[in-house]
Amino acid sequence: MTQQIDNSGTNKVWFITGSSRGFGKVWTEAALKRGDKVAATARQLASIAGLKEKYGENVLTLELDVTNAGQVKAAVEQAHAHFGRLDIVLNNAGYSLVGTIEEASADDIRQLYETNVLGPVAVIQAALPLLRKQGGGHILGTSSNLGHVTLPVIGYYCSSKWAFEAIHESLALEVKAFGIKVTIIEPGAYATEFGSPESLKFAAGLDIYQDFKTEFANGLRGMDRGNPDATPEAIFKVVDSENPPLRINLGSNNLPWTSKAYAERLALWEEWDDVAKSAQGNL
More confident position, 134 or 219: 134
Helices (H), the chain: 22-33, 49-55, 69-83, 106-113, 119-134, 155-175, 210-221, 232-239, 254-271, 273-278
Orientation of helix 155-175 relative to helix 106-113, angle to 10°? 30
Percentage of residues in the chain having pLDDT higher than 70: 94
Residue 215: exposed, middle, or buried by beta-carbon count in 10 A (0-12, 13-18, 19+)? Answer: exposed
**C-beta of residue 123 within 8 angstroms of C-beta of residue 66:** yes
Known catalytic residue: 143? yes
Which sign does the torsion angle of CA 27, 30, 35, 39 carry? positive
The pLDDT assigned to 6 comes to 43
Query: Which pLDDT score is estimated for 189?
Result: 85
Which pLDDT band, with edges at 50, 70 and 90, does 7 fall under?
very low
pLDDT above 60 (res 1): no
Domain 13-253: top CATH class: alpha beta
Question: Which residue is catalytic, options 12, 37, 161, 213?
Answer: 161
For the segment 91-110, the average pLDDT, to the nearest whole number, is 95
Residue 2, pLDDT score: 35
Which of 20, 96, 143, 159 does the annotation list as catalytic?
143
Q: What is the pTM of this model?
A: 0.91
Dihedral angle over CA of 234, 240, 242, 248, nearest 10: 20
Tell me what percent of the residues of the chain surpass a pLDDT of 90. Answer: 84
Q: Say yes or no to pLDDT of 3 above 80.
A: no
C-alpha to C-alpha distances, 101 to 107, 165, 239, nearest whole angstrom: 13, 21, 37
Does residue 9 surpass a pLDDT of 80?
no
Contacts of 74 (CB under 8 A, 6+ apart): none
pLDDT of residue 156 exceeding 50, the answer is yes
Active site residue 161: yes
Q: Kindly report, residue by residue over 61-80, the tens digit of the pLDDT.
A: 999 999 999 999 999 999 99
Measured CA to CA, the distance from residue 88 to residue 265 in angstroms comes to: 35
Q: Pick the catalytic residue from 157, 159, 160, 213.
A: 157
First vs last Cα of the chain: how many Å apart?
A: 50
CA 56: distance to chain centroid? 27
Give 164 or 202, the one with higher predicted confidence. 164
Q: What is the dihedral of CA 47, 67, 203, 109, to 10 degrees?
A: -160
